[in-house]
Each structure stands twice: as C-alpha cells, then as structure tokens.
C-alpha cells in the first residue's frame, strides 16, 4: 500500500498534537493543582480564531496579530493551552499581593498559574520538537481563542501552538 505524504502528514500531526496534550497535562503543577485547559483546534476552529486575530489586529493596529493570522492559515492543527484564574493558596506574595484573598479581590492572576502554563507549554513544544514538527508559541492565538469563547470562561491566559510539517517552517522567517 502506497501512502501519499499529505495523508501521512494528517495522521502524524494529529498524533503529535495528542502527545503534546498528554505532555502538557502531565507537566509538573504547583501544589499538584491542575488549572489548565488543553484542547486541539480543528480547521473550523482555526478559521474562527484566524478571523478574530485579524479583527483584533485591525481594531488595535497590532501588526503581529494580522501577521500571525496569516501564519496559521496553513496550520493543520493548533494545540491550545490555557490556565484558569485560581490562586493556589500559598499566600506567598509572589503575585505582588500579600494574600491570595487580596489577589482575588483585585481580580489578579496567581503567579503559579502563569508558571504552570509556561511549564506545560515548554513540555508540549518539546514533544513537537522531538517529532520534528514545525511549531511556534503564539499569544495571539490564545487571545483570539479566549475572545471567541472556545475555552472555558474561567481561562484567563492561553497560548496556541500551531503545527505544520512542510519543507519550510511557516511560523518563522515572517514578514
């Protein structure tokens, strides 16, 4: 049986995205509290997020948003990882507030939520790298996905990782 590269690529990228999700989920979390939401966007959702990125780019004159929207046009999948706003109860002051209760009153984000998100993103990107999948961490995807309501309303920060496997990485050497 002969399989064309395009067919192989579809399966391979789907599998890699799933392994990335597993890696993000099992990444260490502060106090063992998992505040992450991890999903894979399909072509329909990517198109929706791209439209929102373009809209944000035009409204704010943020060239990076418009550029990133063009960059992900040919992404086969996007792994999206977000964190909920949920102080973990250490009262450590790392966020700049004296207590977690004070942080909640200010509607701030726990520093450990952000750190856990970063560790999960690094774990996921490492899997993509190990499989030689073109990828890039993009805040613009996360912002647009939050605006579109793709993630839980509790998610306040998210980053998207678009995936591709072509002769040239479409997410770098950008205009």
* Distance linking the first and last C-alpha atoms of the chain: 41
Category of 146 on φ-ψ map: left (φ > 0), alpha (ψ -120 to 50) or beta = alpha
Residue 74: the pLDDT is 86
For residue 172, name the pLDDT band (cuts at 50, 70, 90): confident
Average the pLDDT over 55-83 and give the result: 94
- In order of their start, the domains of the chain are 5-164 (3.40.109.10)
In degrees and rounded to multiples of 5, residue 30 shows phi and psi of -60, 130
8-state DSSP, 138: B
CA neighbours within 13 Å on the CB side: how many for 81? 32
Average the pLDDT over 13-39 and give the result: 97
**Digit-coded pLDDT (tens) for 124-148:** 999 999 999 999 999 999 999 999 9
Q: Of 101-105, 159-163, 171-175, where does mean pLDDT reach its minimum?
A: 171-175
Residue 107 has pLDDT above 70, yes or no: yes
Stated as kind and residue range, the H or E segment containing 41 is strand 36-41
The rounded radius of gyration (Å) of the Cα atoms in the chain is 17
Average the pLDDT over 53-58 and give the result: 96
For residue 95, name the pLDDT band (cuts at 50, 70, 90): very high
Stated as kind and residue range, the H or E segment containing 82 is strand 77-84
Residue 175 has pLDDT above 90, yes or no: no
Stated as kind and residue range, the H or E segment containing 134 is strand 134-135
Q: In degrees, to the nearest 5, what angle opens at C-alpha 158 toward C-alphas 153 and 161?
A: 135
Instruction: Assess contact for 117 and 36: CB atoms under 8 A.
Output: yes
The pTM of the full predicted model, rounded to 2 decimals, is 0.94
């Amino acid at each position: 049986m002969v399989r064309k590269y395009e067919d192989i690529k579809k399966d391979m990228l789907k599998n890699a995205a799933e392994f990335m999700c597993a890696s993000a989920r099992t990444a260490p979390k502060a106090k063992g509290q998992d505040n992450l939401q991890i999903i894979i966007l399909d072509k329909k959702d990517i198109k929706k997020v791209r439209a929102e990125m373009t809209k944000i780019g035009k409204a704010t004159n943020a060239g990076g948003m418009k550029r990133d929207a063009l960059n992900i046009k040919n992404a086969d999948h996007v792994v999206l990882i977000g964190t909920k706003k949920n102080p973990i109860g250490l009262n450590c002051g790392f966020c700049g507030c004296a207590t977690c209760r004070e942080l909640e009153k200010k509607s701030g984000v726990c520093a450990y939520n952000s750190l856990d998100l970063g560790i999960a993103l690094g774990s996921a990107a490492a899997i993509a790298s190990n499989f030689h999948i073109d990828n890039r961490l993009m805040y613009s995807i996360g912002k647009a996905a939050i605006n579109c309501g793709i993630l839980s309303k509790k998610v306040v920060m998210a980053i998207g990782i678009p995936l591709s496997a072509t002769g040239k990485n479409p997410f770098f050497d950008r205009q």
